[in-house]
Amino acid sequence: MQPGQPSRTALGAAAHRAVHQVLERGCIFTDPLAVRILGVDAEAAVRDAESNPSRRMLRLFIAVRTRFAEDALAAAVARGVRQLVVLGAGLDTYAYRNDFAESLHVFEVDHPATQAWKRQRLADAAIPLPRTLTFAPVDFERETLAGGLAAAGFDLAKQSFFTWLGVVPYLTAQAVLSTLEFIARLPGGAHVVFDYGNPPTSGADRDRYAAAHEALAARVALIGEAFRSYFETDALHAKLMTLGFREIEDLGPALIRERYFANRGGSLPDRGGHVIRATTV
């Protein structure tokens, strides 16, 4: 991120969710606040998406990862989850349309500059702040997640759910694993959903994913938020088990197509963007 500036990729991800409501009528993921929180940028985002059809794949991936996370959250609330931590929240709107407001407290953790910008956007869109929401500003380059959550009143003993969408690729592998270790050790038990990418292939093995990925990596690097980590699926699963996670559900391109785009023909390689759920309870 640029010093003192809100995340530009947070705006990009929110624009994809808003465009999905308009161009695909929210067929994968319905978010009644997605367009509203973008405000005047929403119309420009739709025009931009219409003139760049190649962005559709990323838009649908963002819709899928959010739908997967919110479906998993609903199931986990039924299993006793009482706290949700939205890590690197950006313009995520879950806290403002919380389906379980009576029993689920939401902590939004984000860089202070992004969070201040979001709060202004919420005010501009007249979206009220629910009493079940606590903001926890944390700059991961300077502070720990544990410290930020403690200051916000997070209860380590309650079963918790973490959504961590669109953030892992921007962090070093070491930073990713230390956050996962913190989550795995929570005494109340925890669930986490995040997305990650397999290392793109190069040279003669360069596949369709590698080509699309290269273009995206170049775009995010240009705005100061370069990709810094990739994981091989098997190695990541082994690491999660070592950290103490017990149940893992991982959807790569092939399983995503099977679950969310079943009427599409053709097959896909299973390398590329994944969304994964891991739990310790």
What residues line the site for ligand SAM (CB under 6 A)? 1, 7, 9-10, 13-14, 88-92, 110-111, 114, 138-141, 165-167, 170
Structural tokens at position 102: 């009576």
- Give the count of beta carbons closer than 10 Å to the beta carbon of residue 228: 14
| Amino acid letter, 57 | M
Nearer to ligand SAM, 6 or 272 (CB): 6
Nearer to ligand SAM, 201 or 219 (CB): 219
Closest separation in Å from C-beta 137 to ligand SAM: 8
Closest separation in Å from C-beta 224 to ligand SAM: 10
Closest separation in Å from C-beta 245 to ligand SAM: 21
Closest separation in Å from C-beta 2 to ligand SAM: 11
Number of residue whose CB is nearest ligand SAM: 90
275 vs 194: CA distance, rounded Å? 6
Nearer to ligand SAM, 10 or 28 (CB): 10
Residues forming a β-bridge with 85: 107, 162
Nearer to ligand SAM, 140 or 161 (CB): 140
Nearer to ligand SAM, 10 or 122 (CB): 10
Nearer to ligand SAM, 141 or 234 (CB): 141
117 vs 97: CA distance, rounded Å? 20
Cα angle value 212/18/81 (rounded, 5°)? 95
Distances (CA, A) of 116 to 5, 80, 152, 188: 10, 31, 16, 30
Dump the DSSP string for 98-157.
-TTTTT-EEEEEE-HHHHHHHHHHHHHTTPPPPTTEEEEE--TTTS-HHHHHHHHT--TT
Closest separation in Å from C-beta 220 to ligand SAM: 8
Closest separation in Å from C-beta 35 to ligand SAM: 14
